[in-house]
Structure 1
């Protein structure tokens, strides 16, 4: 009887096993696996301390391995230290849980996580055992949360469990997808506001005051750079959904904002236009009181306490 060489037999076993696995993988299109694929792509990363005094920025590249795994590669500048990390995310279908690993060039430790999605299928929570931050040689319980706010933005939270059993946040952040237009030379336009030392105060005020507003990224000057340490080197935020950029000028200058350029807000109701106008005008100057001017039934123009000019409107312009 003719025998098949050992190497050929082994190859046949591998190929047949792969074929079965491939068929199972293609047919087992679960919600968990589809959820993992949302990571695919390139992302900008921002991480902050709880008091937001420390901010690190970087990048993440995510790619699929079949439909059961994604591999995320991180590059982050942490105050001069270039952190390089690799994360795997996958689905253990037998136990119906997510599994993950994490390694980086800062620690000689491999993290092993297990996690699950919430009922809304928007937040993934991972838990792991790792080196204690305070007790050398001891371990602690950690938790990482990934929440997809939309397909282009993930909010992250890192927590440690204290002796009282409660989870304490030691780092938060977000991942913002890099669009194709940002990597193919196509231009993007956003308004840039240049402040003189009070940019952080301004963007915090705007995102609290105007509905559908949020801070996306913040980078601050550190000692030794050409701007004052602690002021805004570069920040992106959204006001009523529109993207804005702001900085604190690294040098003093005589010029400031001018009403010849204004940010224009269309409000959804009379109550909203009144509320936004009233809040933004506090400490500033009203150029046109909120009123019916013919071209609009409810319109106002003001300069806020930071010198930025706003035109607030409700209703169709004529």
Structure 2
């Protein structure tokens, strides 16, 4: 069976990755440039060819710098489900900095805490937490 890994193309993958590791907790696991992997000695040599991040408790995804024009954002939303409302609220608040909140994170009639936003890089996020007691 395969595993799905989102791959985000960015105008500045290093800055965007730093934003995500600060907002969601985590770390950059690996980063390779076009110069390192392909021996490029042109304007792309320092651009990120492949980066792997772990965020929000070990979820991994990939990033790279765009080397041709692209449109930020898409019809895809990334969703992270947290164990507690406080974890979800903290991540939501950090991701919202410089972005646009579509739905503030709050209890929904269907029984979960839910919020939706577009971050400052044009990525849509849905942040949730199941209705559970907060740890003491």
**Structure 1 spans left out of the alignment, 5+ residues:** 1-185
Please say if 1:210 is aligned against 2:24: yes
Which residue in 2 is equivalent to 1:195?
Answer: 10
Local SS of the residue matching 1:301 = strand
Please say if 1:245 is aligned against 2:58: no
* Greater percentage in strand: 1
Deviations 1:206-235 (A, max 9, x none): 112213x2211100133525x633221111
**2: CA distance between counterparts of 1:200 and 1:217?**
11
Which residue in 2 is equivalent to 1:307?
Answer: 122
Deviation, structure 1 residue 187: 4.5
**1: CA distance between counterparts of 2:128 and 2:45?**
38
Local SS of the residue matching 2:104 = strand
Deviations 1:82-126 (A, max 9, x none): xxxxxxxxxxxxxxxxxxxxxxxxxxxxxxxxxxxxxxxxxxxxx
CA contact (8 A) 2:104 2:115 kept: yes
Superposition RMSD in Å = 1.9
TM-score by length of 2: 0.82
**1: CA distance between counterparts of 2:22 and 2:115?**
20
Deviation, structure 1 residue 286: 0.6
TM-score by length of 1: 0.37
Distance change (3 Å), C-alpha of 1:269 and 1:229:
same
Local SS of the residue matching 2:61 = strand
CA contact (8 A) 2:72 2:121 kept: no
Match 1:224 to one of 30, 38, 41: 41
**Structure 2 spans left out of the alignment, 5+ residues:** 132-136
Please say if 1:279 is aligned against 2:94: yes
Q: Which has the greater radius of gyration? A: 1
**2: CA distance between counterparts of 1:295 and 1:202?**
32
Deviant stretches of 4+, over 6 Å? none
